[in-house]
Structure 1
């Protein structure tokens, strides 16, 4: 796949605006999806209007910081992911509270996600996360991430509630769906970009299902530890891992112009 950059960008050099895909990436992604579910449920059930307003403001501030930076920094990137996790959950939950059934909202968000991928590919000619060297591509990236979180939230609620699988079985289902593209990529030569985004989308309902299982009371299919405690514990681990990456730079791609050809997503 070809990547198009301006001559000025090529002369000046370009920096990756998203992290390299390592084991740390998948671990923190899973933790942030679970944290966002727990944080959203805890806040919205206590003060819904204020929670949504704060979530939107937090996401806007995180994006403003991220877009002001010239290159990837672990703390700013994962702050945006965390805020999208929180606000994306709120958005999907508000759609359901407005009376839209989970199967319908899941389908709608799936269509929006597909449309986002189609538009991104039509404009940029690549969906590879290894080609995120420009502001416009990063904007497509974050829109895709947001819609994927909303879709994952609706899908997880659909399987756990409407399909009566419960939180634990939903988590197991999405864990299997998460592993399938990894196996397909490593063993059967699946397209790396497809495999990456398939796994990426699955992390949202996977994390949310296990967060609900740990946090919700037994009457709602959980272990009853409480959403607040789950949120605090997950946030602690996220902060520790991001702090480590900020120092070690284990997730930083080398300084280079956008690459031609296929990227390695796993």
Structure 2
């Protein structure tokens, strides 16, 4: 489809496709094993690991926010960092602070709810594919940090707090995501709502799978260790990011119209490079 002449904004966030979900699952699973690697294998502890990883995340997300268009390697690096930092933040709340897994779920879930409410009331679209403002992208990344932290607490609560065990909890979350997939294709439920539920659920699923890969067999895992599991997940992520980069060079992302506030219609600051499409 040809674009009409006028000004557009280059996309900063990717299209939501099967490739997006594959990368999201790999990135969030890696976040679990990498977070545990810093706090447990390297012995930094949850507080120091959380501070370190949040600092690295802030540097990476600043680069992402200043970028002029979508860069797969940069975008997914930031997602991995939100997940890695989220693991250590959750573990600090649940275990180091002795607040417990359910309390962690309630604290982080409430934080995410507040972020989503602020996002909605700000007049920005919650449709990730169509985020074209700087403030909308900032809110997106804050929501990602909360959702990935919440996912770790939720996964730990299902496996440990409810005493389901790693594999039954992973199977239960897999069934929930399959139901969401069916709802997307066979019902008229709001697509944006289904997206955010799936986005949140992939994180506890990744937490469970990450723990299954890294933990010893006597603890319900396969015994790869945090370093071994992280290495395998990094390799898979690199392959898929390389494919996405190649695919975008071959089929560039369609730009977005100049953004306006959903409530007032007032123009807003775009988050990407503004380009002009001339008349043919």
- TM-score w.r.t. structure 2 length? 0.85
| 1:1-266 alignment, distance < 5 Å | 12-45=7-40, 46-48=43-45, 50-96=48-94, 97-249=96-248, 253-257=253-257
8 Å CA contact 1:130, 1:259 repeated in 2: no
Matched residues, number: 252
Contact 2:214 2:229 in 1 (8 A): yes
Separation (CA, whole Å) in 1 of partners of 2:78 and 2:241: 13
8 Å CA contact 2:7–2:258 kept in 1: the answer is: no
Larger gyration radius, structure 1 or structure 2: 2
Which structure shows the higher helix fraction?
1
TM-score normalised by L of structure 1: 0.89
8 Å CA contact 1:38, 1:212 repeated in 2: yes
Is the contact made by 2:119 and 2:139 (CA closer than 8 Å) also made in structure 1? yes
Question: Is this contact kept in 2: 1:102–1:154, CA < 8 A?
Answer: yes
Partners of 1:86 and 1:98 in 2: CA distance: 19
Indicate how the Cα distance of structure 1 residues 32 and 251 shifts in structure 2: closer, same or farther if over 3 A, else same: farther
SS in 2 for 1:78: helix
Deviation at 1:126, TM superposition (A): 2.7
Q: Which runs of 5+ in 2 are unaligned?
A: 263-280
State which drifts further: 127-136 or 230-239.
127-136
**Alignment partners' CA distance in 2, 1:108 and 1:40:** 20
| 8 A contact 2:125–2:136 mirrored in 1 | no
Q: Please state how far the C-alpha of 1:258 moved relative to its aligned partner.
A: 5.7
Q: CA deviation at 1:117?
A: 1.1
How far did 1:141 drift? Answer: 0.5
Any idea what the Cα deviations from partners look like across 1:94-124, whole Å, max 9, x if unmatched? Answer: 1112011111111221121112111101112
Matching residue of 2:273: none
Greater alpha carbon shift after TM alignment, 77-86 vs 124-133: 124-133
* Alpha-carbon distance in 1 for matches of 2:10, 2:80: 23
C-alpha displacement of 1:259: 8.5
Q: CA RMSD in A?
A: 2.0
Structure 1: runs of 5 or more not aligned: 1-9, 262-266
CA contact (8 A) 1:179 1:199 kept: no
CA distance in 1, matches of 2:97, 2:196: 29
Deviation, 1:26, is 0.4
Deviation at 1:50, TM superposition (A): 4.9
Is 51-60 or 81-90 further displaced after alignment? 51-60
Note if contact 2:155-2:169 (Cα within 8 Å) is conserved in structure 1.
yes
C-alpha contact (below 8 Å) 2:132/2:259 kept by paired residues: no
> Do the aligned residues in 2 keep the contact of 1:156 with 1:170 (CA within 8 Å)?
yes
